[in-house]
Amino acid sequence: MNHLQHWGETLRLLVELAGTAAFALSGVLEGARKRLDAVGIFVVGFLAAFGGGTLRDLLLDQRPFFWVQHVEMLWAVLALCLLAMSFMRRHHFEATLRGIAIPDALGLGLFTATGVHQALVMDMPALVAVLMGLITGVFGGVLRDIVCNQIPATFSDHQPYAVCAFVGGWVYAGAWQLGAPGWLALLACVGITAGLRWLALWRNWRLPAWQT
């Protein structure tokens, strides 16, 4: 049993690392596309990776931030940005988010679950908790796009992204209400969020558009 738990913890950590790396890379790619300099790319990568969780902690009035408690994650993102930039300079590669779709979707699910969990622990109403999950998962990318001076892609590319996190967040809140064990709620939230996201990408689902 202890053995299993240990494996679960390791898996969770791996998903967290992969998700954070994918979020940071989405910032690096966006910054490179907008021709930011090295400082700008690091800031945008940092915002994409930690901005959502930081905004959630600000709103919930929680300290210390994730990246203060685990300052090694800051160093890791800093190193990742430097690596990605030196790689981009040499290989002239097409800036694309497609290559990081899998870890990005996993990260979206995990971050959403973390946000919902923290709000539920603080006895927030379910809708607020789900919004906190959404903010954790999605607002890193929103802040990234605001700094890059464009309408947040999540709100304008008409691909389901935040919607997947919204559904996954309700799954987590529901499992919590039903008294399910933590690992099950987490697994269900990540599975459904990431699964919906992959389905949406694969089947090319579109959110409704307005004829104004």
**Given the complex with a copy of itself, which of 43 and 101 has the nearer CB atom?**
43
- In the complex, which residues of this chain contact a copy of itself (CB under 8 A)? 31-41, 43-44, 54, 58-59, 61, 63, 65, 67-68, 71, 74-75, 85, 88-89, 92, 95, 124-125, 127-128, 131, 142, 146-152, 154-158, 161-163, 166, 207-212
**Given the complex with a copy of itself, which of 136 and 186 has the nearer CB atom?**
136
- Burial state string for 134-147 with b = 16 or more CB within 10 A and e = fewer than 16: bbbbbbbbbbbbeb
CB of 6 to a copy of itself, least distance (A): 28
Decide: 124 and 132 in contact? Cβ < 8 Å: yes
CB of 181 to a copy of itself, least distance (A): 27
Q: Residue 165 and residue 138: Cα distance in Å, rounded?
A: 8
Q: Residue 100 and residue 166: Cα distance in Å, rounded?
A: 21
Q: DSSP class of residue 73?
A: H
CB of 1 to a copy of itself, least distance (A): 35
Q: What are phi and psi of 104, to 5 degrees?
A: -60, -45
CB of 197 to a copy of itself, least distance (A): 13
**Given the complex with a copy of itself, which of 73 and 113 has the nearer CB atom?**
73
Decide: 125 and 63 in contact? Cβ < 8 Å: no
